[in-house]
A and B are shown apart, each in its own frame.
Chain A
């Protein structure tokens, strides 16, 4: 989790965020929504070098789904289509009640990892994803009961404060996903990333998520700073300005090429499990 890790050629974990909950096929015609589409994208991303798959579920209409049953359908298809990848379920859900937010944790088997949003953020003009401390505590408690490692979703500096406050409750190493974008997210700039990394506790691992055009530069910077990267259509639908990405796997392929050029090997799923203590 430092520049020394870069110099030591520590393996870099590539997470592919395939679907998300905000955009759908109205924004990108090939964004995977059905269980079969998500499974096909998952297999392509694993083949390209992703070791973690971040999953959401959708209804047939493309609208958001949170039920255990729908996540079960998605995760079974993904497990059938992939070899050994780490499955991470989202527990995000702007506007959805807490009880629904926990449902993706209850598949059989449970996911090895799940996202844990660490505080509030605004959506559109009139919507807020509240993520109160009580909600975070409830989701974290259920993750612990089911042996699921949380990925702490740090949308801004305040969420880092919230994360540091519970770091003693986390299994080692804590895993932070540092998120950069517009609105209530951290200002998307290299200085912001360096500052955030400087506040992480000793021994922590971190991942970087940059929305839109910030995905490429900030994930590249993460590789140099000893961190890991998240790419995919959930966070960015453009491969470059004005050009829609072909697929999730295209982003993974680019991340793998960059890591290779920077002399950090890409982690296998087994190495990702070892690094994250799964």
Chain B
């Protein structure tokens, strides 16, 4: 199983959106994640954010120099 994306968080609210239960949230895109994309974020089924997510790849350079950045 691939690692979970470092940009993935689970939140009940962001901006004007609130939910009864915590949902996947992308801290790179600053928005809640579609369910299908969330499987990439969570590293399920062999999906890997480092190869399968264009949002992660677009922001990966921003993480260079951070401890543990890929």
* Chain A residues engaging chain B, CB cutoff 8 angstroms: 21-27, 29, 58, 60-64, 94-97, 100, 123-127
For the complex, give the distance between the alpha carbons of A23 and B52 in Å. 18
Chain A residues with CB under 8 A of B23: 24-26, 61-63
Q: Which residue of the partner chain, among A95, A97, A100, A126, contacts B36 with CB atoms under 8 Å?
A: A95
Task: Say yes or no: A21 contacts B36, CB within 8 Å.
Answer: yes
Residue contact A63 to B42, C-beta cutoff 8 Å: yes
**A22 with B34, Cβ < 8 A, contacts A63-B39, A95-B45 known:** yes
CB distance from A98 to the nearest CB of B (A): 11
Task: Tell me if A123 and B31 are in contact (CB < 8 A).
Answer: no
Residue of A nearest to B10 (CB): A61
Chain B nearest CB, measured from A31 CB (Å): 10
A124 to B57, CA, bound (A): 13
Chain A residues, Cβ within 8 Å of B17: 26, 29
With most chain B CB atoms within 10 A of its CB, the pick from A27, A29, A100, A125 is A125
7 closest pairs, A vs B, by CB? A26-B32, A125-B54, A63-B38, A24-B35, A22-B36, A126-B52, A64-B35
Most buried by B among A94, A97, A126: A126
Roughly how many angstroms separate A64 CA and B53 CA in the complex, as a whole number? 17
Min CB gap A19→B, angstroms: 9
State whether the Cβ of B33 lies closer than 8 Å to any Cβ in chain A: yes
* Contact partners of A26 in chain B: CB under 8 A: 17, 23, 31-34
Indicate the member of A24, A63, A123 with the most B CB atoms within 10 Å: A63
